[in-house]
Structure 1
Amino acid sequence: MNNTLTRSQRGFTLIELMVVMAIVAILAVFAVPAYQDYTKKATMAEFPTIAAPVKLAVEMCALEKASSTSTFATNCSTSAGHVPSAAINNISVTATNVSGAIQVIAQATSDKGPVKSGEEFILSATYSDQGITWAASCTDAGGNAQSAYCPD
């Protein structure tokens, strides 16, 4: 009788513990990259909000200072003085004349979690008689497209 009592109190074997550890490791292999993607998407979601005041300033400039596509691109950039720049939460935002079109560029100025310094959220403005249409894109620090992390 004492023999069965001691046998039932022995606990887990080494093999059982190793199997559990292997299962946890396999789950971690899939969970960690998915979590990193999620946190990068969440961090990039801040960029449109931070860029919104500069985007609004570009739209106001288009109403007041632009009469054509060329005057829009010339007058409605940060360097022209009609659109302010912004710097919030290690993200700088400027309106830039790029090849005759305005781009509102929100750029990380330092590493911010999974988002590295130099990564950008770009709003490209297209001016027409009907108003301005915006297209969003994202690039990494090397200028490569990052559509998987780009907010709409």
Structure 2
Amino acid sequence: MKHAFLAFLISVTASFGGDFEHAAFKQLRDFIHSLPARENVIADVALFQGGIPTQEQKRDAEDRLKKAKDGFEHLKTLLRVGTSIFDYPGLLALARPRHAVADNNYSMTLGIPPGWNWNHEQGTNENEYEVIFDNRGIITELRPVIYKH
């Protein structure tokens, strides 16, 4: 009887663990899917760099950029060196990965580029970062984006 009860407790605990992991995975996936793709962020920033956008367009873009900035900052806290980019469902859809032949690795830039609330031509942009990963998808580094001319 004790063995049956112990087996029951283990199976219940295991099922709760599985449900928790599934819920956490779904929450992470939904969060990443809520972030805008790089092309959308660049289009919103472009409204502040030229052209003749209406006040409504600028206000809408500013709201989206503020939300994206907060989201990308939070995402940065979730990304861990040594984990796979495939552990972050939808991450690769946010930006186009680039291959660096010399370093034999890949990178993708996430965050908000200058031109919206940061107009300096040079320096570190605290709102952008690069995710560097190897050919197996393992994140090897998170580094700030530095603009040089």
Compute the TM-score of the two structures, normalised by the length of structure 1: 0.38
Structure ranking higher in helix proportion: 2
Larger gyration radius, structure 1 or structure 2 = 1
TM-score (norm. length: structure 2):
0.38
Name the structure where strand makes up a greater proportion of residues.
1
